[in-house]
Chain A
Amino acid sequence: EADIYQTPRYLVIGTGKKITLECSQTMGHDKMYWYQQDPGMELHLIHYSYGVNSTEKGDLSSESTVSRIRTEHFPLTLESARPSHTSQYLCASGRGSSYEQYFGPGTRLTVT
């Protein structure tokens, strides 16, 4: 399996809390991605990064924000969690012009 990690794996949190989902990779990949996956549904890209200090919003609008201060680290933050944010969040990374993306195990977030 690829060297990409996500923490926490599961999170149950109350409405209004600020949360940060962590994603780290040890492969030196320049590109990193966040996908949102609702149960039984496809993955939708919500954020991506070309490299350090570059971030862009994806195809699906999201109230979350991301940062890329270090190559290996791409955290996602929700300033004020809401029940509509309940979903699975998958992080992925890839190198340069390579087609392959390596996925993390995901964080399953439940906002009550």
Chain B
Amino acid sequence: AQTVTQSQPEMSVQEAETVTLSCTYDTSENNYYLFWYKQPPSRQMILVIRQEAYKQQNATENRFSVNFQKAAKSFSLKISDSQLGDTAMYFCAFMKHPGGATNKLIFGTGTLLAVQP
């Protein structure tokens, strides 16, 4: 069975600074996807960034980037130039390679990020 662990329940960062959120996972699969989802207060969960396990290059989406260490089963999220709108709960999630019957997501417990003005 797959598990996802986020060891930082809460974090705080000053506006315009950089912050890194940690995530580790456990799986025996070789082909899978990893995701970071953002859940702002009272708003819908949205996908921030994804990483395919077969790709060595770390994914980047504007101010968001990941550090994917497959051997260490680590998948951290770096947010550069933090903005007040980045305040949210961030969930790390795992999915076996899509195309299966279910495409089930397995989530970590989340990290509550507060961006301070």
CB neighbours (8 Å) of A41 from chain B are 109-110
The minimal Cβ–Cβ distance linking B5 to chain A, given in whole angstroms, is: 10
**Least Cβ distance of A50 to chain B in Å?**
6
Interface size on B, residues (CB 8 A): 26
A63 on interface, CB distance cutoff 8 Å:
no
Say if the beta carbon of A64 comes within 8 Å of chain B: no
**Which residues on the A side are within 8 Å of B102 (C-beta)?**
31, 48, 50, 56
Residues of chain A with a CB closer than 8 A to B108's CB: 42
Contact with A along B30-51 (1 / 0, CB 8 A): 0001010100000111110010
Whole-angstrom CA separation of A106 from B47 in the bound complex: 16
Tell me the residues in window 30-46 of chain A with beta carbons closer than 8 Å to chain B beta carbons.
Answer: 31, 33, 40-45
A59's partner among B35, B50, B99, B104 (CB-CB below 8 A) is B104
A residues less than 8 Å from B109 (CB atoms) = 40-42
Known contacts A40-B110, A43-B91; A103/B46 CB under 8 A: yes
3 closest pairs, A vs B, by CB?
Answer: A97-B99, A103-B45, A42-B107
